[in-house]
Structure 1
Amino acid sequence: MTTSIPSASYPPPPRQTANPAPVRPANSLRRTSSIDVAWPDGPEGERLFVGRARDYLTGPDGSGHTLATGEFSLRMTEDKTITRIAADPAPATIGQLVGARAGGHLRMALREIMPELIAQADPLYLVLDDLSGTALVSSFAWGQWYPERMDLLRERLGAEDGASALAQRANVCWGLQEGNSGVSGTAALDKVADADAGNLRNAADPEGWHQFLEHEGPGFRRARRIDVTRDGGLIRIASAFQDSAKLREGGRVAIHEYNLAATVDAETLEVLSLAPEARILPFRECPGAVHNVARLVGRNLGQVREDVLEMLRGPEGCTHLNDALRALADVPRLVEELRQPA
């Protein structure tokens, strides 16, 4: 059951990035992924999505090499319909995603069309699985690049339609429970994103991230990092998740950022501890979602994708934190890769 606290009693939402990423630890495997969204044909044209993921093995002396990569490029209409897609390496069934919509049913379609990617914990699957969430949030980028367009949209909606639009979001997640500031209209919506996203790449560790898409104009990015190490009978995990957008004056602003630390029994894959940390979130109620994550302690890490959807659904969780948790299902496979010689 959710436990609601009067909205006014919450402190301000967190607004401090943990970036840059730490230097890769010795004897570790780092999975990084990103989806960059651009509008090469202007605001009325199709969106361009470029997803990239990489597994990088680091040896005892700090040197390392790439184990696996996955990349896709696709176009998507305003209603989130995929009109064309290419991938490298390309599964034979990748073309079947043309015509699919990046909504709640896309993950089901991925399970049906390319189950081998899930079974192999392929890095390409992670960015394909992230499409729905990225498509939903990426319009945030326009409000940062062209704030005047958002003002015009609010004027067109008017007070009544604007209130109706807010009400439709009620109970989709912990932070947007009925009565909370992001639903009631008491939050200053022009202030929900004022945190510097920082630089993902650490200057002391240039190989710590893969290469991102560089482009002109507005842009959105969802980025993930998962560091995995072995410590005797324990698997130690340190991960990070961030949604950010480009600013017209330069730099980036973040709207969602979590860090997540976990320990797992290396033999049974039982989750022994989970410690999420809210770094940047839009509304003051949002950080409360971290407390329900404790429900996953004692569960099997390999089943975390299904457990999250069952146990942290709707107002029981945060969709962005849920995505960060679901990505940990690939860690058992990453541990196997970690046993390879560097």
Structure 2
Amino acid sequence: MPSPVRPLPALADLTPPPASPHRGAPRRMPGSVRRTSHLNVTWPAGYGSPMNLSAGARDLVTGRDGQATVVDSAQLRVTVDDTRTLRSLTSVPPRRALAGLIGQNGGRGYRARLRDLIPEDVTTGSPLHFLLDDMPGATLVAPIAWRLWPGEQDKLARFAAATQASRVEAMREVCSGWRADGGPLERMSQGGGLEQNLVPAHPLEQADDPLAWHRIPAPPGDSAMFRRRRRVDVIAPEPREQGVMTVDSAFRDSMWSPQGVETIVHEYGVHATVDPATMRLVGIRADPRVLPFETCPSAAGNVDLLLGEPMQTLRARVIRLLVGTDGCTHLNDALRALAEVPVLVDQLVTTGRID
């Protein structure tokens, strides 16, 4: 069933885009599991050259006794050319079938090919699939990282001018940010600057908890870098309590300047509760932290369309229920990542770290 059409807020009611990035991460709780991931994109040969993607993910269980155990992990190395065609790919754990992605586009049809090539990873929600599923969105957004590099700004401006008309039509009503009557689309259609909201980042690491995140390589320093970063915490109810499971998630896209300053492009928090008996979503709230335009945050009010959904179906259901101006491309990405909550719960149970 398609999602109901919800009226957009009046333009006069829109507030400036949010500019309150996360600082650190929540303290790991006893009886919890945390999945963290990163995807770094660099261009060793400069603007317009192939992208190098270096990614990693880790699942960490914290038992009732407070002891932490790494229960799963993955690494990924990919080269993508300027048409988003995959030219090389290696992974840990290795998957020979992924050779079927080489020479194929990393956008349209990519996720369907993943389902055909590595069905077990898709079904089990492995950390490797978590990384592979992130590639289409990351490779699409990543070139914005060159915006902060003065030597490449003229090239970006020429590209924007040459593709202006096609981009206006491609973006119209694709999400809440690009609503037809909104300022961003109007400015782009008139050839003006987008005046995108960019916010300096706070570190997400925790100085008193070296296990809060897995190890993430530093920016190269001599080239632009884009990073997509995720955290999903699942906290079990106390023993003998009939409570719900709590989910706390964070999503950040950021880039680095020549001076080594991290700047955020998109950032969301998502807070949810899950019925442990049915693994259905019983509560959810989206928390916009940094978004490009004043038209973007309105999508956060539509996440209740997902209430009652089985968690394992979210990768498919989000993009069917939060469509067009009801959704936000980056919020949808953050929500889809919650589909693996049942997998993370199973890790708590199978490791014997919860009752």
| Map 1:34-113 → 2, pairs under 5 A | 34-113=38-117
Structure 2: how far apart are the matches of 1:156 and 1:74?
A: 25
Query: Is 1:22 aligned to 2:26, yes or no?
Result: yes
Structure 2: how far apart are the matches of 1:196 and 1:183?
A: 25
Deviations 1:71-111 (A, max 9, x none): 11010001100000000001231111111211131111111
Deviations 1:24-67 (A, max 9, x none): 12221000011100111211321100121100111234331211
Contact between 2:60 and 2:71, CA under 8 Å: does it hold in 1? yes
Residue 333 of structure 1, CA deviation:
1.2
Query: Which residue identity is paired with 1:322?
Result: N
Q: 2:267 aligns with which of 250, 253, 257?
A: 257
Query: Which residue identity is paired with 2:304?
Result: A
| Map 1:289-328 → 2, pairs under 5 A | 289-328=299-338
Cα pair distance change 1:157/1:323, threshold 3 Å: closer
Q: Which residue of 2 aligns with 1:244?
A: 254
Contact between 2:43 and 2:52, CA under 8 Å: does it hold in 1? yes
Aligned pair count reads 340
RMSD of aligned residue pairs (Cα, Å): 1.9
Q: Unaligned regions of 5+ residues in structure 1, if any?
A: none
Structure 2: how far apart are the matches of 1:132 and 1:153?
A: 21
Q: Unaligned regions of 5+ residues in structure 2, if any?
A: none
Q: Which residue of 2 aligns with 1:230?
A: 236
Contact between 1:302 and 1:332, CA under 8 Å: does it hold in 2? yes
Structure 1: how far apart are the matches of 2:212 and 2:169?
A: 42
Q: 1:333 aligns with which of 321, 336, 343?
A: 343
Deviations 1:190-245 (A, max 9, x none): 64243112112111212111111332321000000000111144211000001000
Cα pair distance change 1:87/1:4, threshold 3 Å: same
Contact between 2:147 and 2:156, CA under 8 Å: does it hold in 1? no
Contact between 1:166 and 1:185, CA under 8 Å: does it hold in 2? no
Q: 2:224 aligns with which of 204, 209, 218?
A: 218
Query: Which residue identity is paired with 1:252?
Result: E
Identity %: 33
Structure 1: how far apart are the matches of 2:42 and 2:332?
A: 25
Q: Which residue of 2 aligns with 1:150?
A: 153
Contact between 1:305 and 1:326, CA under 8 Å: does it hold in 2? yes
Contact between 2:267 and 2:291, CA under 8 Å: does it hold in 1? yes
Structure 1: how far apart are the matches of 2:158 and 2:103?
A: 33
Residue 147 of structure 1, CA deviation:
4.0
Structure 2: how far apart are the matches of 1:157 and 1:305?
A: 32
Structure 2: how far apart are the matches of 1:33 and 1:115?
A: 21
Q: Which residue of 1 aligns with 2:121?
A: 117
Structure 2: how far apart are the matches of 1:46 and 1:330?
A: 31
If the length of structure 2 is used for normalisation, what is the TM-score?
0.90
Q: Which residue of 2 aligns with 1:288?
A: 298
Cα pair distance change 1:152/1:8, threshold 3 Å: farther
- For the residue of structure 2 that corresponds to 1:138, the secondary structure is helix
Query: Which residue identity is paired with 2:309?
Result: R
Residue 70 of structure 1, CA deviation:
0.8
Moved more, 275-284 or 225-234: 225-234
Q: 2:280 aligns with which of 257, 261, 270?
A: 270
Structure 2: how far apart are the matches of 1:76 and 1:182?
A: 29
Moved more, 95-104 or 120-129: 95-104
Contact between 2:245 and 2:274, CA under 8 Å: does it hold in 1? yes
- For the residue of structure 2 that corresponds to 1:168, the secondary structure is helix
Structure 2: how far apart are the matches of 1:256 and 1:103?
A: 20
Q: Which runs of 4+ in 1 moved over 6 A?
A: none
If the length of structure 1 is used for normalisation, what is the TM-score?
0.94
Structure 2: how far apart are the matches of 1:153 and 1:80?
A: 17
Structure 2: how far apart are the matches of 1:202 and 1:293?
A: 29
Cα pair distance change 1:28/1:10, threshold 3 Å: same
Residue 318 of structure 1, CA deviation:
0.7
Query: Is 1:202 aligned to 2:215, yes or no?
Result: no
- For the residue of structure 2 that corresponds to 1:341, the secondary structure is coil
Cα pair distance change 1:20/1:189, threshold 3 Å: farther
Structure 1: how far apart are the matches of 2:319 and 2:131?
A: 18
